[in-house]
């Protein structure tokens, strides 16, 4: 029986026990070997029938059909797209070079520009590294990788942009810098230039203020790493033209992305709903939960990575900057945890700086909790139940999802569920955040949020949409 125990342990290590099918398969093989063939087949059929009507199967099946529906809508939106022979990418950092490399993989000629040869060299090195990975995994031959790499044309000036009518901007997340880039490119590019910004938080209408043709400015929010994350969030502001939207969707489809189109607003959809989730994790830390306990609570609930480890990976400074943009518009409702400012003041930026909530220097790939964080934030241990930590975090995400629906940022519940799963890893076996909310029951969720708000503050008060739907017995999904 050792082989079965090892197989079971391997499955549990990979799935956390959230996916019952492989465990049942191991059990059926083990038990079936001791039975006659008809009995073994009956056992298999009986166990399969239980799985196929279970919540996990329903959730995963719903994702499959939702993905097909969303991709069908994107195909319709792409009708009327402009024909492009090349695409410009402004910024050769990690995101910009990742975008350029993926475009080149899809047979698109790319002009990749940055401010100097050093920055451009780092971007090209990242592109080469990504292609090398494809060769190593035998997805590309050496010749195919070199040919694809040759489609990336490096620039430190705007040479060649005079005939480039579509550019993707991936520079630093600062309004003034992005405005400067818009003005510069419009001096040299064709009059029909479509400018797609990879901003993750800044309203597109605000960026369009610097453009002579605001109708050709659109948001094109990629997720990191670009070559792995399937979602692309495209943002239209009130003046975005149909041609600009269609062309942007078409480019995203050529890159192999699953696309949701949302309306404009600070943080759009994905960044806006992720913020309160991470913020609540920081509040749990401040209230006395250990760093690893917070992350374990969420990975135990099904997330691929805990929120504090995620902050370290993204960069605490980047998340802090995004949070500041959101707080500018959302005001006191956000209730930003003081831990953010304390970490920034101490120069803790996450993995890239060698220290964040975890230590990375001299640890190799393994990370360890940095105990110095506790002293830094004035922490006193207090036992917080892991179930409460997980619940508060995903409830806060749900709260913000409801507000984005109230504000008209996003409308279709299927876009919501696909966005949180494909954008930042909401547990797929749950079928999406709105499907999970329907399963738990909005009345129950509103009651729990009210209790949390009474104990921990008004930031946890349920959104009005949740109250209204709970009082009327309405679900997000009809099926």
Predicted confidence (pLDDT) per residue in 73-109, tens digit: 999 999 999 999 999 999 999 999 999 999 999 999 9
pLDDT value at position 208?
Answer: 99
Predicted confidence (pLDDT) per residue in 107-149, tens digit: 999 999 999 999 999 999 999 999 999 999 999 999 999 999 9
Q: Would you say the C-alpha torsion 165, 171, 173, 177 has a positive or negative sign?
A: negative
pLDDT band at 321 (very low <50, low <70, confident <90, very high): confident
Q: CA geometry: angle at 63 spanning 58 and 64, to 5°?
A: 100
State both tokens at 210: 């610097």
Question: Cα–Cα distance between 383 and 362 in angstroms, integer?
Answer: 31
Question: Cα–Cα distance between 223 and 261 in angstroms, integer?
Answer: 15
Predicted confidence (pLDDT) per residue in 146-190, tens digit: 999 999 999 999 999 999 999 999 999 999 999 999 999 999 999
pLDDT band at 327 (very low <50, low <70, confident <90, very high): confident
State both tokens at 308: 């504090």
pLDDT band at 262 (very low <50, low <70, confident <90, very high): very high
pLDDT band at 331 (very low <50, low <70, confident <90, very high): low
221 among known catalytic residues: yes
Region class of 44: left (phi > 0), else alpha (psi between -120 and 50), else beta = alpha
Q: Which secondary structure element, helix H or strand E, spans residue 59, and what is its range? A: helix 55-77
pLDDT value at position 160?
Answer: 96
pLDDT value at position 1?
Answer: 73
pLDDT value at position 325?
Answer: 75
pLDDT value at position 383?
Answer: 84
Q: What is the mean pLDDT of the chain?
A: 95
Q: What is the mean pLDDT of residues 20-31?
A: 94
Counting residues of the chain whose pLDDT is more than 90, the rounded percentage is: 90
Answer with the residue of higher pLDDT: 477 or 361: 477
pLDDT value at position 365?
Answer: 62
pLDDT band at 352 (very low <50, low <70, confident <90, very high): confident
pLDDT value at position 326?
Answer: 75
Q: What is the mean pLDDT of residues 187-199?
A: 98
What are the angstrom distances between the C-alpha of 442 and each of 298, 404, 418, 435, 446? 21, 17, 20, 11, 6
Counting residues of the chain whose pLDDT is more than 70, the rounded percentage is: 98
Tell whether the model's pLDDT for residue 367 goes beyond 70: yes
Tell whether the model's pLDDT for residue 347 goes beyond 60: yes
All domains in the chain, ordered by first residue: 2-53 (no CATH), 79-263 (3.40.50.720), 271-408+441-472 (1.10.1040.50)
- Comparing 36-40, 305-309, 325-329, 349-353, the range with the smallest average pLDDT is 325-329
Q: What is the 3-state secondary structure (H, E, C) of 238-302?
A: CCCCHHHHHHHHHHHHHCCCEEEEEECCCCCCHHHHHHHHHHHHHHHHHCCCCHHHHHHHHHHHC
Check 18, 117, 221, 321 and give the catalytic one.
221
pLDDT value at position 363?
Answer: 55
| Cα Rg of the chain (Å, integer) | 24
Q: What is the mean pLDDT of residues 397-419?
A: 97
Q: DSSP string of 30-47?
A: HHHTTS-HHHHHHHHHHH
pLDDT value at position 332?
Answer: 59
pLDDT value at position 3?
Answer: 86
Question: Cα–Cα distance between 132 and 46 in angstroms, integer?
Answer: 47
Tell whether the model's pLDDT for residue 364 goes beyond 70: no
């Amino acid at each position: 029986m050792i082989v079965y125990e090892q197989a079971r342990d391997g499955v549990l290590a990979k799935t956390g026990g959230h996916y019952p099918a492989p465990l049942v398969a191991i059990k059926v093989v083990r038990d079936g070997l001791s039975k006659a063939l008809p009995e073994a087949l009956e056992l298999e059929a009986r166990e399969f029938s239980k799985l196929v009507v279970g919540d996990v199967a329903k959730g995963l099946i719903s994702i499959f059909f939702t993905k097909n529906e969303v991709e069908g809508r994107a195909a319709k939106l792409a009708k009327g797209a402009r024909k492009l022979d090349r695409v410009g990418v402004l910024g050769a950092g990690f995101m910009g070079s990742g975008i350029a490399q993926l475009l080149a993989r899809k047979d698109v000629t790319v002009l990749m520009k940055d401010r100097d040869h050093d920055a451009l060299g780092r971007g090209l090195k990242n592109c080469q590294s990504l292609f090398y990975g494809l060769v190593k995994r035998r997805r590309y031959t050496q010749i195919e990788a070199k040919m694809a790499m040759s489609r990336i044309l490096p620039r430190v000036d705007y040479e060649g942009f005079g005939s480039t009518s579509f550019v993707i901007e991936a520079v630093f997340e600062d309004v003034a810098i992005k405005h400067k880039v818009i003005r510069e490119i419009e001096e040299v590019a064709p009059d029909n230039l479509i400018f797609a910004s990879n901003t993750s938080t800044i309203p597109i209408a605000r960026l369009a203020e610097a453009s002579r043709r605001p109708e050709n400015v659109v948001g094109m929010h990629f997720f990191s790493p670009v070559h792995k994350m399937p979602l692309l969030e495209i943002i239209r502001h009130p003046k975005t033209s149909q041609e600009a939207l269609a062309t942007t969707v078409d480019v995203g489809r050529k890159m192999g992305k699953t696309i949701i189109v949302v309306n404009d607003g600070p943080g759009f959809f994905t960044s806006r709903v992720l913020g309160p989730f991470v913020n609540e994790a920081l509040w749990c830390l401040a209230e006395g939960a250990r760093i690893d306990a917070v992350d374990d609570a969420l990975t135990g609930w099904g997330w691929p990575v805990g929120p504090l480890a995620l902050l370290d990976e993204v960069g605490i400074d980047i998340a802090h900057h995004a949070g500041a943009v959101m707080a500018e518009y959302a005001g006191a409702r956000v209730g930003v945890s003081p831990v953010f400012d304390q970490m920034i003041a101490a120069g803790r930026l996450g993995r890239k700086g060698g220290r964040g909530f975890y230590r990375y220097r001299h640890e190799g790939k393994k990370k360890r909790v940095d105990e110095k964080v506790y002293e830094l934030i004035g922490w006193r241990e207090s036992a917080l139940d892991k179930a409460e930590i997980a619940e508060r975090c995903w409830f806060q995400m749900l709260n913000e999802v409801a507000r984005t629906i109230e504000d008209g940022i996003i409308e279709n519940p299927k876009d919501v569920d696909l966005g949180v799963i494909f954008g930042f890893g909401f547990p797929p076996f749950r079928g999406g955040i709105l499907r999970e909310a329907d399963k738990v029951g909005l009345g129950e969720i509103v009651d729990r949020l009210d209790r949390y708000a009474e104990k921990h503050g008004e930031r946890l008060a349920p959104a009005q949409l949740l109250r209204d739907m709970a009082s009327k017995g309405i679900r997000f999904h009809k099926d």
